[in-house]
Structure 1
Amino acid sequence: MLVDVAPEHVEGWAEEPASLTAGLGRLFARPEPREVFADLIEGLLSDLGRKNGWPMAERAGHATPHRIQKFLGEASWDAGALLAEVQDYIAGHLGNAQATPVLDDTQVIKKGTRSVGVARRHCGSTGDALTARSW
């Protein structure tokens, strides 16, 4: 949920993922991971109902989720450099030096019974109460 965000603040946000991923492409040695990384980021930020391999691959125009799965399982990059770039991007574009971004996934309604993280818990959008997870 966005707090105190006016429509003029979100104009142009659709272009931001492409701008961000283009700037991060240098973290990958080959062009293939750069492309899949961009597809992955755009898929994660999209309005897809389920964000697993198949829907994200279909959204990106891939025939199967193999490219995304291979990227996640085998591609190599410097995670520290990626984290530093994302932190710089957030500080430079979304806030100021005193701001702290907070990602709250309690607005997401969990579905299913077999995936990680689907046990009942507090959901801000439905008001469901917090319950203990049984692992």
Structure 2
Amino acid sequence: MSYDIEKSNAEWRAELSPEEYRVLRGAEDEAAFTGEYTDAKEKGVYSCRACGADLFTSEEKFDSRCGWPAFYDPKDLDSVEVQQSESPYPVVRCARCGSYLGELFEGEGFATPTDKRYCINSLSLRLKPGDSE
């Protein structure tokens, strides 16, 4: 797969903390209920911690009580990439750099416009406070 931002593992390791690298580049999830954005209510735009691409806004964030930040839709349809994986749930990646964000769940009955839950690791995100547009 080709992305707008491509770097070697050594370059990513130099830019990211070990924990960020483990999640973003190693595709491992952080422990539930430990992320800084799990219960965040601040307004703003959530961007990719690896490359800075805008991914989700606080407008699409909802409380799913799953232990990770949850969004019912990305900021723009082309900001994230959903890939089938070996797990039963599709993997969500940043469309700009390919970094691992989390997984997508559908049809769980949440009262959201899409009935989708983008379950995203806090370590994959950085909140830019302010207007969510």
TM-score normalised by length of structure 1: 0.29
Name the structure with the higher helix share. Answer: 1
Instruction: Name the larger-Rg structure.
Output: 1
Q: Which has the higher contact order (CA 8 A, sep 6+)?
A: 2
